A and B are shown apart, each in its own frame.
Chain A
Amino acid sequence: MSDVFLELSHITKYYPGVKALNDVSVELKKGEVHALVGENGAGKSTLIKILAGAVEPNGGEIILNGKHYEKMTPQSAKELGVEVIYQEFNLMPSLSVAENIFCGSYMGNGVIISRKKMEQEAERILRDMGLFISPGVLVKNLSVAYMQVVEIAKAISRNAEILVMDEPTAPLTNAEVEILFQVIGRLKEKGVTIIYISHRLNEIFQIADRITVLRDGNKIASHNTVDVSRKQLIYEMVGREITETYPTRNNSVGETILQLKNVTGNGVRNISFEVHKGEILGLAGLVGAGRTETIRMLFGADPKVSGQFLLNGKEISPKSPKEAVEHGILLIPEDRKRQGVILNLPIYMNITLPILPKISKFTVINKKLEKKMVDQQQAALRIKTPTLQQLVKNLSGGNQQKVVLAKWLVCQGQVLIFDEPTRGIDVGAKQEIYGLMNELCEQGMAIIMISSEMEEVIGMSDRIVVLSEGIQTAVLDRADFNQETILHHASGHH
C-alpha cells in the first residue's frame, strides 16, 4: 500500500517470563482513525509505549514516513510528531488553558512570556478544533471533557501527526463523547492519524476506520470497520464465544429498605427515591448530574443540608463513612485504585479491613478466623491469584474490583452501592461482575448502581432514577427503559 504512513513492523517485546508482544505488525494510513482492541494484557499499552519511546522493543522496527527506526525515545517520538494522551491527564490545574497548551514552549521574547500572544494562539487552535473555550480560564474549573480537549490541543500545538488516545471516553458522558468525536473528526480532516484504544465497542464502530485486534501479545487481525461484525470482533478479542448480553437473574423484589426524602445538599436538590430488597436500582445521568454527590451524602462522605434517609423506616443521618458502614450501607467507589483498594497491602488485609474489631480479642486479630473468611470470599468471588498474600496492585482491574466487593461482603450489609462498577474492566471480567451483582440481588441485597454506560444501566437495572444537573428528572420502570427516554430526562426534561 502506498498510502501507509506509519508501520509498526514485526514488533516483539519480551519481559522476563512474559511475552508481551509477539511479532506484531500494524499499518496506519495518514488521516485514519485506527482502533486497537483487546482485553487487558493483550499488549495494546506495550505497543503504544514502544511507539512513544517509553519502552524499547526486542525486535522489529518502526517505519515512519518511509524512514526506518529501530526504536524510539520519548524525545525522538515527540520530534516525529507522536503524541499520547493518557488516561491520567498531564495538566496543571492552577494554570490557565493557554498556559497548559503551551506548557514547555511558552511564547514571548526571551524570558518574558507574552500572555496575550499565547492566548490568541490557544484560541485559534481551539477554534480549529471546533470549540470555544476561553483560553484564560483555569484548567481546574473545566469539566473532564474539556480538560481532555486541552490535552488534545496541547498535542496539536506541538504539531502532532500521530495522536494516540488511551481510553479517552472512560471519564466522559455520552454528550461529552460527542464533543470528543467532533474533535476527532476535525483532526482527521487535517490529516492527523489517530490510534484509538477503547473497551467500548459501540464507540469503535462509530469512530474507527480500521480495527486491529490483539490478544495475548499476538495480532489476531486487522479489519476495515465496515467489514467486521461486533460478534466476530468479540470472538477475536476473547478467543471464545462470549455472550455480550446481560445475564438474567431470578430476583424477587421485596419490601422497601432505603428511602430518600427530599435530600438536598452537595449540589443536588430534592432527591427522593426508594430502594427495595433484591433489586438493582440504576442511577443514570450525565457527569455532574449529582449521582455520585447524592451517594456520597448517603454514605456519610459529604454532609447533607436537608431531607431524610430512612433505612427500614427509621431515619439515619450518617456523618462519616464509618457510621454508614455500621448501618450496612456500603460503597464500591468509582475510583477503584484511589478509593476502593489499598494497593500496597495484600489482598487479605484489604478484605478484612472493615471488620477487624469483630474478629479480634483485646485488639489481637484471630488470624485463623481471618484466613477462613478470606478463603471463603476468594472461593465465592473467584478472585484469581496464586496467593492471598499478593499485593492488590499486582491484580487486574476486575480482580481488584472483586477485592472491594469481598471487603463489603464480609460486612453483611443491607445496601450495596456500585459507582461505575465496570469502568476499565475488560469484557470477560465485566460479565463476572454482572454475574456477582445478580447473585447478590437474588440473595436479597439491595443494590444501587451508578453507571455512565447507558447499556449497562438498561441491561442491569430493575428501575432507573434519572438525574440532571442536581435534580431528579424521572423514575423509570423496566417497561419504560430505552436509550432515548433516559437521554431525554438526563438532559434536563421532566
Chain B
Amino acid sequence: MKEKIITHIQKYMVIVILIVLMIFFSILAPNFFAVNNFFTILRQVSMIGILSVGGAFIMISGGIDLSLGVQMGLSGIIAAKLMVNYGVPIAAACMLGLLATTLVGFLNGVIITTTNMQPLIATLGMMNIVKGINYIITDGLPIYGIPSRITVLGQGHIGPVPVPSIVMVITFCLGGFLLNKTYLGRYFYALGSNEEAARLTGLNTKKIRIFAYTIGGVLGGIAGLVLMARVNSAQPMSGWGNEMDVITACVVGGVSAAGGEGKMSGVIAGVLIMGVLSNGMAVLGLGEYHQVVVKGVVLILAVGFDCMQRIWGAKVKRIEV
C-alpha cells in the first residue's frame, strides 16, 4: 500500500516537477512561454539528451561514466581537425571521430571489467586522459572553418524543428526500444540489479558491461558531432562538466544511482527539466555561474530523493515479514 504510493509519487514526480518549473518561469519571465523558446530549449538540450541515453544505459547496468562529457569534445575535435587541417572528406572525418569515442567507451568497459576497478575512478582517469588528448590535438586553440555542409546537423531546421532535436528524438526512440524490447536492455537491468545472480544465470556480465560503456562512447561521439556542427567549430574545452548534466538528468528522471532502475521516458523528462531550468534561469537573467550552483543542488536533491525512497522502500519491505 505504502509502497504503491511511493512508486506512484516516483512515477509522476518528474512530470509534476517539469510542469511546476514551466509555470514558475512563465509567471516570472513573460518571454519564457513562447513556441519559439520551446524550440530553443529543445535545441539546447539536444546534446545532453543524446549523451543521457548513453549515461542511462551505463547507470542502469550499475556503472557511471564521468568521461562522457569530454568524449563529446573528442569526436568533434578529431572530425574538425581532419576536415580542416587534412582535407579528409566530411563523412570519413565524422566516422573517425565517432570511432575514437567508441574506442574510449570500449576501453572504459575493458578497464572496469578486467581490473574490477570502481567505475567512478576508472572513468575519472579516462576523463583526464581525454581532456589532455583534446588539448594536444587542438593545441589549446579552437578549430574553425568547418565545412558548411556539416553545420546543418547542428543548425538546420526541418520545418520549425531543429535538426539536433530530431537526432535527439531518434536517439530517445532507439534507446527506449533497446531498453524495453530487446534482451540487451533486459541484461542491463539484470546486471545493475544483481551482477552475481546475473553471472550465475549464465550471462557474460563482462561483455554486457563493456557493451554498455561502448554504446555510451558511440552516443558521446554523435553528441560531439552535433555540438561541433552547432557551434561551427571545435573547442578544446567543449564537453567539460557536461557529464554532471548527464548524471543529473538521468537521476532526476528516475534512473537509480545504484543501478537496475530507470526508464527512457524518465530520462526524457529529466533532460527537459534540466533544459527548462537552464533556459528559464537565462531568461530571468541569471548567469552561467548561478546555473552551475542550481544544477549541483538539483543533483543532490535528486540523488537524495532516490536514496531516501530506498530507505522508505526497505522499511515497507521489513514490515511485510
Residues of A at under 8 Å CB distance from B?
15-17, 41, 45-46, 49, 54-55, 299, 301, 320-322, 324-326, 331, 333, 338-345, 349, 353-354, 356-357, 360, 363-365, 393-394, 407
A16, A338, A354: the one contacting B196 at CB < 8 Å is A338
Offer 8 A-B interface pairs, CB within 8 angstroms, sorted by A. A299-B200, A320-B199, A321-B200, A321-B202, A325-B201, A342-B198, A344-B193, A345-B189
A46, A341, A353: the one contacting B321 at CB < 8 Å is A46
Chain B contacts of A325 at CB under 8 A?
A: 201-202
A349, A357, A364, A394: the one contacting B181 at CB < 8 Å is A364
| Contact indicator A342/B190 (Cβ below 8 Å) | yes
| Contact indicator B186/A322 (Cβ below 8 Å) | no
Tell me if B261 counts as interface (CB < 8 A to partner A): yes
Could you tell me the distance between the alpha carbons of A326 and B193 in the complex, rounded to whole angstroms? 23
| Contact indicator A322/B189 (Cβ below 8 Å) | no
| Contact indicator A356/B194 (Cβ below 8 Å) | no
Chain A contacts of B2 at CB under 8 A?
A: 16
Could you tell me the distance between the alpha carbons of A105 and B57 in the complex, rounded to whole angstroms? 45
Could you tell me the distance between the alpha carbons of A89 and B203 in the complex, rounded to whole angstroms? 30
B186, B261, B319: the one contacting A344 at CB < 8 Å is B261
Could you tell me the distance between the alpha carbons of A301 and B205 in the complex, rounded to whole angstroms? 13
Give 3 closest A-B pairs by Cβ, nearest first.
A325-B202, A356-B183, A363-B182
| Contact indicator B202/A45 (Cβ below 8 Å) | no
Chain B contacts of A357 at CB under 8 A?
A: 183
Q: What is the predominant secondary structure among interface residues of chain B facing chain A?
A: helix
Tell me if B293 counts as interface (CB < 8 A to partner A): no
Within 153-204 of B, Cβ neighbours of A (below 8 Å) are at 181-184, 186-187, 189-190, 193-194, 196-204
Q: Which residue of A has the minimal Cβ distance to B202? A: A325
Could you tell me the distance between the alpha carbons of A341 and B198 in the complex, rounded to whole angstroms? 8
Sample of 10 further A-B pairs with CB below 8 A, known A46-B321, A345-B189? A16-B2, A55-B319, A320-B199, A341-B197, A342-B190, A342-B260, A344-B260, A349-B186, A353-B186, A363-B184
Chain B contacts of A54 at CB under 8 A?
A: 318
Chain B contacts of A342 at CB under 8 A?
A: 190, 193-194, 197-198, 260
Question: Given that A344-B193, A357-B183 are known contacts, is A301 also in contact with B321, CB under 8 Å in the complex?
Answer: no
Chain A contacts of B202 at CB under 8 A?
A: 321-322, 324-326, 354
Could you tell me the distance between the alpha carbons of A343 and B320 in the complex, rounded to whole angstroms? 15
Question: Given that A353-B186, A363-B183 are known contacts, is A339 also in contact with B197, CB under 8 Å in the complex?
Answer: yes
Chain B contacts of A394 at CB under 8 A?
A: 320
Q: Which residue of B has the minimal Cβ distance to A346? A: B189
Residues of B at under 8 Å CB distance from A?
1-2, 181-184, 186-187, 189-190, 193-194, 196-204, 260-261, 317-321
Say how far A303's CB is from chain B's closest CB, in angstroms. 15
Could you tell me the distance between the alpha carbons of A464 and B203 in the complex, rounded to whole angstroms? 31
Could you tell me the distance between the alpha carbons of A321 and B197 in the complex, rounded to whole angstroms? 11
| Contact indicator A321/B201 (Cβ below 8 Å) | yes
Could you tell me the distance between the alpha carbons of A401 and B229 in the complex, rounded to whole angstroms? 55
Say how far A110's CB is from chain B's closest CB, in angstroms. 35
Q: Which residue of A has the minimal Cβ distance to B317? A: A393
Say how far A414's CB is from chain B's closest CB, in angstroms. 14
Say how far B142's CB is from chain A's closest CB, in angstroms. 41
B184, B193, B204: the one contacting A322 at CB < 8 Å is B204
B1, B182, B196: the one contacting A364 at CB < 8 Å is B182
Chain A contacts of B260 at CB under 8 A?
A: 342, 344-345
Could you tell me the distance between the alpha carbons of A322 and B205 in the complex, rounded to whole angstroms? 9
Could you tell me the distance between the alpha carbons of A305 and B181 in the complex, rounded to whole angstroms? 42
Could you tell me the distance between the alpha carbons of A363 and B178 in the complex, rounded to whole angstroms? 9
Could you tell me the distance between the alpha carbons of A360 and B1 in the complex, rounded to whole angstroms? 36
Say how far B303's CB is from chain A's closest CB, in angstroms. 18
Q: Which residue of A has the minimal Cβ distance to B189? A: A345
Could you tell me the distance between the alpha carbons of A413 and B260 in the complex, rounded to whole angstroms? 28
Say how far B241's CB is from chain A's closest CB, in angstroms. 31
| Contact indicator A331/B200 (Cβ below 8 Å) | yes
| Contact indicator A17/B184 (Cβ below 8 Å) | no
Say how far A261's CB is from chain B's closest CB, in angstroms. 24
Q: Which residue of A has the minimal Cβ distance to B260? A: A344
Question: Given that A16-B2, A344-B260 are known contacts, is A365 also in contact with B186, CB under 8 Å in the complex?
Answer: yes
| Contact indicator A340/B199 (Cβ below 8 Å) | no
Say how far A113's CB is from chain B's closest CB, in angstroms. 31
Chain B contacts of A353 at CB under 8 A?
A: 186, 190, 198, 201, 203
Could you tell me the distance between the alpha carbons of A324 and B202 in the complex, rounded to whole angstroms? 8
Could you tell me the distance between the alpha carbons of A338 and B197 in the complex, rounded to whole angstroms? 6
| Contact indicator B204/A320 (Cβ below 8 Å) | yes
Chain B contacts of A320 at CB under 8 A?
A: 199, 204
Chain A contacts of B193 at CB under 8 A?
A: 342-345
